[in-house]
Amino acid sequence: MKLNPIVFELEQKINQYQTDLEAIRLSNQLALESCCQIEQKLRTSQQMLQLVMDTLPERIFWKDRTSSYLGCNQAFARDAGLSSPEELIGKNDYDLPWATTEADFYRQCDNRVMISGQAEMGIIESQLQSDGRQAWLETNKAPLRDPKGNIIGVLGTYQDITPQREAEIALQEVNQKLNAQSTELKAALQQLQDTQLQMVQQEKMSALGAMMAGIAHEINNPVGFLEGNLSPAETYIKNLLRLTDLYQQKLPTPDPEVERLVETIDLEYLREDLPYLLDSMKEGVKRIREISVSLRTFARADTEKLVMFDLQEGLDGTLHILKHRLRANEYRPTIQVVKHYSYLPPVLCFPGQLNQVFMNLIVNAIDALDEANHGKGFQALQANPNCLTLTIELSDNQEFAMIRVKDNGVGMTEETKQRIFESLFTTKAVGKGTGLGLAIARQIVVEKHHGTIEVQSQLGEGTEFTVQIPVNPTPTSRECFRCP
Ligand SMILES: Nc1ncnc2c1ncn2[C@@H]1O[C@H](COP(=O)(O)OP(=O)(O)OP(=O)(O)O)[C@@H](O)[C@H]1O
Ligand SMILES: [Mg+2]
């Protein structure tokens, strides 16, 4: 039977379509298999990435431009109290256990990184974690960019540095405690040094005072004999001379033996010299009396209470005691003393102690002059003499007695000037200075008398100390005055 040509043609086409379809099906199957393979590879690589991220001890997270989380590793999810990283996606810091202030801080930091396009490394921040633990983190944040370089979010990593941070804080606390203890110890040491100074000062004063008072007392008696006997002795001598005169008148030719004695004793010269001799003896006794008064003034025992005292008398008395050091010696002429004393009313003070201050200042000035004299000849020193200038005056507001002790000695370096009031600071040779003089002076002036002591000095030119003592301490400040 002959087939209808149309049917034949259709059959042909159907066969062709079936063949094509089979080819398409085969090709689709191949494509599908390839897709499956790619998907499998992708999944494997994603799993590998997650595995790597989860293995790292660091927490890793990334956020979009609105600071909503896009992903994280397992460690981060744990800190956030989530069971898997997927739970984090879409959340922000305010949805997590952190404190609001911490979330604010993280948000500000994200914005800074995204706006500047610059990574921030080593940010130390706190994080309240899901288990209520307050952790400390060291965080790094970097801008997250798409392939075209546009910033699409932020990538962050951090590590928990709580143990180090806690150790650091504990160390800081220990340091603070140590500092506090060291400050306390310093204060205690200072107090100990002050007490030691006070004791040295008391010891020095009482030993010196007792010795001086004793000497003054011992001198007084013999001086009293001398003073008491000098004037009758003068009368007796005058009478004896009158008698010899009368003998000479009545017996103009004496016995040769008498004549020989007159020649031997040089009666003529004796008569002339005797009045001078008596005058010089009187002067000597007067000076011994002055020394005795100075000794007693210096050693005044009334240091226990405030008394009215003439500072001028104190300064002069101290100077008197130091006269032996002012005199000329084989190395230098006499030190010149210039006094500028203005009117000063008596001052309510501890006189014995202020005398000690004057003594320390004047001895230091003399030492400084002697030091400056090294290597200078006697004549050079005569041309440019050593000079000690003492000034006493009332301050402009009449409230303070001002005492200045100035020398043109060796002067001080800046470093010495800074340290002179430190106890035990001295630039003098061993055995010459103990470094206590000015520390004691400062204590007496500042702490005992509520005054001030200042120094001005120029190296090679000289030094001036200015002491200010309140003339009339107010009743309240009087109460503050501590007895030595
Ligand atoms: N007038 C002065 N000129 C120069 N230096 C001075 C003068 N007064 C004090 N100094 C310096 O200050 C230091 C401290 O003086 P301070 O009186 O306290 O102790 P010192 O004189 O050395 O010993 P001390 O007085 O205990 O015997 C001195 O060693 C000296 O270097
Ligand atoms: Mg001294």
Above pLDDT 70, what percent of the chain? 95
In a domain, 401, yes or no: yes
- Rounded to 5 degrees, φ, ψ at 269 are -65, -40
CA distance 364 to 462: 12
Q: What is the pLDDT of residue 472?
A: 81
pLDDT single digits (tens) 222-266: 888 888 898 899 999 999 989 998 998 998 888 899 989 989 999
pLDDT single digits (tens) 405-444: 999 999 999 999 999 998 889 999 887 888 888 988 998 9
Residue 104 reports pLDDT greater than 90: yes
The strand pair at 69-72 and 59-64 is best described as antiparallel
Residues 151 and 225 in one domain: no
The CATH number of residue 345's host domain is 3.30.565.10
Distance 483 CA to ligand 1 centre (A): 26
Measuring from atom 31 of ligand 1, which residue has the nearest CA? 427
Of 146 and 477, which is predicted with more confidence?
146
Measuring from atom 9 of ligand 1, which residue has the nearest CA? 364
CA distance 149 to 127: 31
In a domain, 271, yes or no: yes
Given ligand 1 and candidates 359, 360, 362, 420, which is best to mutate, with the most ligand atoms within 8 Å of its CB?
A: 420
What is the rounded radius of gyration, in angstroms, for the C-alpha atoms of the chain? 52
Given ligand 1 and candidates 364, 371, 405, 406, which is best to mutate, with the most ligand atoms within 8 Å of its CB?
A: 364
Residues 314 and 389 in one domain: yes
Residues 214 and 351 in one domain: no
Residue 196 reports pLDDT greater than 90: no
The strand pair at 336-341 and 387-394 is best described as parallel
Residues 336 and 464 in one domain: yes
Distance 367 CA to ligand 1 centre (A): 8
Q: What is the pLDDT of residue 483?
A: 37
Residues 11 and 83 in one domain: no
Q: Which residue has the tokens 């005169």?
A: 245
Domain final residue pick, 246, 275, 299: 299
Give residues with Cβ within 8 angstroms of 107, minimum separation 6. 67, 93
Distance 434 CA to ligand 1 centre (A): 9
Task: Identify the nearest ligand to the CA of 430 by its number.
Answer: 1
Residue 209 reports pLDDT greater than 90: no
Residues 331 and 459 in one domain: yes
Give rounded-to-5 percent helix, strand, coil for the chain.
Answer: 60, 20, 25
Residues 38 and 90 in one domain: no
Reported confidence tier of residue 451, pLDDT bands at 50, 70, 90: very high
Residues 325 and 351 in one domain: yes
Distance 443 CA to ligand 1 centre (A): 15
Number of domains in the chain: 4
Closest by CA position to 129, among listed 98, 164, 91: 98
Task: Identify the nearest ligand to the CA of 420 by its number.
Answer: 1
Residues 480 and 360 in one domain: yes
In a domain, 177, yes or no: no
Closest by CA position to 120, among listed 133, 105, 135, 101: 105
Task: Give residue 188's domain range.
Answer: 184-299
- Supply 36's token pair: 């499956």
Measuring from atom 19 of ligand 1, which residue has the nearest CA? 435
In a domain, 237, yes or no: yes
Closest by CA position to 316, among listed 269, 362, 248: 362
Q: What is the pLDDT of residue 478?
A: 47
Q: Which residues surround ligand 2, an ion (CB under 5 A)?
A: 364, 437
pLDDT single digits (tens) 355-396: 889 999 999 999 999 999 998 888 889 889 999 999 999 999
Reported confidence tier of residue 399, pLDDT bands at 50, 70, 90: very high
Q: What is the pLDDT of residue 303?
A: 56
Mean local confidence (pLDDT), 47-56: 88
Given ligand 1 and candidates 335, 419, 423, 428, which is best to mutate, with the most ligand atoms within 8 Å of its CB?
A: 428
Distance 461 CA to ligand 2 centre (A): 19
Task: Identify the nearest ligand to the CA of 465 by its number.
Answer: 1
CA distance 408 to 386: 6
Could you give the count of Cα atoms lying within 13 Å of 400 in the half-sphere of its Cβ?
A: 16
pLDDT single digits (tens) 161-171: 999 989 998 99
Task: Identify the nearest ligand to the CA of 370 by its number.
Answer: 1
In a domain, 176, yes or no: no
In a domain, 192, yes or no: yes
In a domain, 178, yes or no: no
Task: Identify the nearest ligand to the CA of 459 by its number.
Answer: 1
Residues 9 and 74 in one domain: no
Q: What is the pLDDT of residue 299?
A: 67
How many residues make up the chain in this entry? 484
Domain final residue pick, 239, 269, 299: 299
The CATH number of residue 104's host domain is 3.30.450.20
Residues 6 and 90 in one domain: no
Measuring from atom 27 of ligand 1, which residue has the nearest CA? 433
Which atom of ligand 1 is closest in space to residue 438's alpha carbon? 18
Domain final residue pick, 299, 323, 344: 299
In a domain, 427, yes or no: yes
- Residues within 6 Å of ligand 1 by CB: 360, 364-365, 368, 407, 409-412, 416, 420, 425-428, 433-439, 463
Distance 433 CA to ligand 2 centre (A): 6
Distance 409 CA to ligand 2 centre (A): 14
Residue 316 reports pLDDT greater than 60: yes
Q: What is the pLDDT of residue 218?
A: 82
pLDDT single digits (tens) 155-193: 999 999 999 989 998 999 999 999 999 999 999 988 888
Mean local confidence (pLDDT), 89-101: 95
Of 477 and 50, which is predicted with more confidence?
50
Task: Identify the nearest ligand to the CA of 463 by its number.
Answer: 1
Distance 301 CA to ligand 1 centre (A): 26
Residues 142 and 247 in one domain: no
Measuring from atom 7 of ligand 1, which residue has the nearest CA? 364
Measuring from atom 28 of ligand 1, which residue has the nearest CA? 426
Mean local confidence (pLDDT), 295-319: 79
Distance 131 CA to ligand 2 centre (A): 70
Residue 66 reports pLDDT greater than 80: yes
| Angle of CA points 368, 370, 375, to nearest 5° | 120
- The CB density around residue 73, as the number of other CB atoms within 10 Å, is 22
CA distance 393 to 341: 6
- The CB density around residue 17, as the number of other CB atoms within 10 Å, is 11
Residue 477 reports pLDDT greater than 60: no
* Mean predicted lDDT score pLDDT of the chain: 89
Which atom of ligand 1 is closest in space to residue 439's alpha carbon? 18
- Rounded to 5 degrees, φ, ψ at 361 are -70, -45
Which atom of ligand 1 is closest in space to residue 426's alpha carbon? 29
